[in-house]
Structure 1
């Protein structure tokens, strides 16, 4: 089994687990949403569904490229929430400020990771 294939499974598992967590702990995700976004609960649940679906589709050879592009779009779409967290560290006192800022380049890493499967 190649490293690329192993990492594809890792990304898919990560996405499915993250998506399921949106349903288990929606308030955590609602808390990180910028206040200018409407309907935070619905957006959290929608993004959770997208993460689960795209994670599963990433493992289906026929839909892998489409799922990878969907993940790229999703990572771009959630970037404002990560930026909001970094800009408002007082709302997240349990998370070190440096970690809040490190989340921003992590989005780039996730985008590159997903692009590998397009």
Structure 2
């Protein structure tokens, strides 16, 4: 829920700022700025809640902590890439692939009631997926519309 709030709040502020500065609403630019801010926000969680984020990966996955840090770094690079015109489209496609690839970890976390913030097994469970799966779709569509489509 927090990433969605960050995305929408930054989008609103960016949209109003582009209107004031450029004299028109810049929806795609504001969308990329908002997605970049959201990615930095979620990337920070990989470093602050490393234990809980690592728990979101199944036991058979090796180097969980390293993967957790790595995905946080990837999110930071994606946030930057969305804002550089030369890298925007390729970054967006890779980000869409990333959103699809991380969905199983969210499903695993829900099935196992993992609370990534506390690093415990008392999370929301399956009810979390009713929000998380559509949210992944929102992130994918948002990325496509703000960075790829013309």
Query: How high is the TM-score relative to the length of structure 2?
Result: 0.70
CA distance in 1, matches of 2:131, 2:58: 18
> Number of paired residues?
118
Residue 37 (structure 2) pairs with residue 8 (structure 1): no
**For residue 87 of structure 1, what is the aligned residue in structure 2?**
111
Residue 140 (structure 2) pairs with residue 111 (structure 1): yes
From the superposition, tell whether residues 65 and 22 of structure 1 become closer, same or farther in structure 2 (CA, over 3 Å): same
Query: How high is the TM-score relative to the length of structure 1?
Result: 0.87
Q: Tell me which stretches of 4 or more aligned residues in structure 1 moved more than 4 Å.
A: none
The structure with the larger Rg is 2
Give yes or no for contact 2:82–2:89 (8 Å, CA) kept in 1.
Answer: yes
**For residue 15 of structure 2, what is the aligned residue in structure 1?**
none
| Coordinate RMSD, CA, aligned | 1.9
Q: Which runs of 5+ in 1 are unaligned?
A: none
Deviations along 1:23-69, one digit per CA (max 9) or x if unpaired, are 22211211222223221111101101100001111111111111111
1:14-33 aligned within 5 A: 14-33=38-57
Residue 73 (structure 2) pairs with residue 49 (structure 1): yes
